[in-house]
Structure 1
Amino acid sequence: MLSIGEFSKICEVSTKTLRYYDEIGLIHPDEINLENGYRYYSIRQLKKMLFINRLKSYHFSLDEIKAILESEEDQSEENLYSALNRKRREIQEQLNAFEYTLKQMSNDILNLEKGIPMMSYLDNIEVQLVETQPMNILYMRQMMSSDDYALGYGKYFRRLYEKIATEKLTLLGTPMTIYHSPEYNPIGNDTEFAIPIEETVKGTRDLPGGLCAKSVVKGSYAELTSVYAKLREWVENKGYDLVKSPYEVYVTDPNQATVPEDMITEVYFPVKKK
């Protein structure tokens, strides 16, 4: 048996952390001396602790690690395989985002060296006034926190696509998101996920057409805030009022775009003349 100190030293995990892992049920001491409270770990638990450390190095949360450990006890290698693949995709997306940020930063530095203001890129965002047609949309409406967005988009669009496939509905367009909240709230925002379809069935509604200020984003979703700012400025300067919730149309499926530069998103602001 190994004392908690020896176990801590070998695995490079503090004794405080080991006690916390015991509290949350991640890894328990094999033995606790009832007289003095000393904790002891068995040699075989070294492998389990190294496994936990390895998953932590892959940026799994403690809750995720606990779920994997429970599936390991059920001898489900398939769950581990799926979890690793899912986490690899998440990390790859983060790497792509960092690469995009580095490229953007390098461009800003280059422009500053040339005497070009860093925010001058806003002048290159084009805005059009367009007339949109009414659409019949299959939708789901949820309150989404800022932390929910990344996973939520895939989750709710997947449900809509599953309904389309199950009921053999006719797809008429690409996914879209409509933002109904009057202000941004990190705790929760009223978000509607929708896909245009032909049939009128349960879960569909009419999205009216009309006059819209439109802009196209080619690149990371991080650029959307700049486009929203440009659209709002254009609406004000051109003498229009916003009349309905803004929405985004994902021309490029984010799951199929290998790099942020490949993503194309249309942003619409429904407007009327003052």
Structure 2
Amino acid sequence: MTDIHQNKKLYTIGEAAKMCNISRKTLRYYDKIGLLHPDEVSEQTGYRYYSLENVLKLPIIKYYKQMGFKLDEIYEGLSRNSTYIHEHSFINKMTELQEQIERLNEQLTAVSDWYDLIQEARFVLTADVNEVSIKYLPPEVYCFMEQDFSYDYSSSTINIPWVNFLEDNHCEITGPVILEFDSMTERINETANTVKIMQKKVSSENNSVLEMHTSRELVATLYHRGDHKNIKQSYQKILDWAKKNNYHCGPRCIERFVIDYWTTTNPDEFVTEIMVPVERKRK
């Protein structure tokens, strides 16, 4: 502690930094941006000296930073020294942080869903899952777009018009790319020329124009493993199963891309879930 004036005790920059566990460089920066000026600067040495009143502002600054305030926001709070200003800034910060939480939750959902797809595909490949099964699809909300289809799966899954469409309409999505064909027969015969591309909506923004709400639906499902060029064989397997078990198929069909060009360019690792609505035939 250093005495510069007889009745005023001042701390050197080193003493102030040590007391508050921050660096001298930080104190110099705070001086430069006007957040915390020293009380005295020696004309001979250029050394900075701080009063206890100013040193006590450093814990306040540190706590503001912990709460997520930027330095310019902290400057506003300290310089105005008003309870109203503090209240107003806290309300704004709480709103900002809540928006960040929502955004992080959306990002976590997207990453988690992609990770789950990789685990799903690994199970299908290692457990040799190759039989038709039946299940109910739960109600869901999707973003969707109608577009032309040319049987080029690389550009249908990594779909530039679709990505641009989502960005232009501020729609956040998660999970696998899904293609829905109005006619399973046309899909099998490769005469379908339009498709509905969709992905699960994750954003909290309300844009009902882009939303498609699906209802609970019974489907026959089969994982197609490998190149999409051979997917007809998997469709035929579903048809054979339906005939054997007395089910009507279609008319629609759905292809859900568990592992595709988004994750790998090796077609041997591709996993596509084919889903076909089914209904038990009446006797």
Structure possessing the higher radius of gyration over alpha carbons: 2
TM-score bucket of the superposed structures, by smaller chain: 0.3 to 0.5
* TM norm structure 1: 0.47
TM-score w.r.t. the length of structure 2 is 0.46
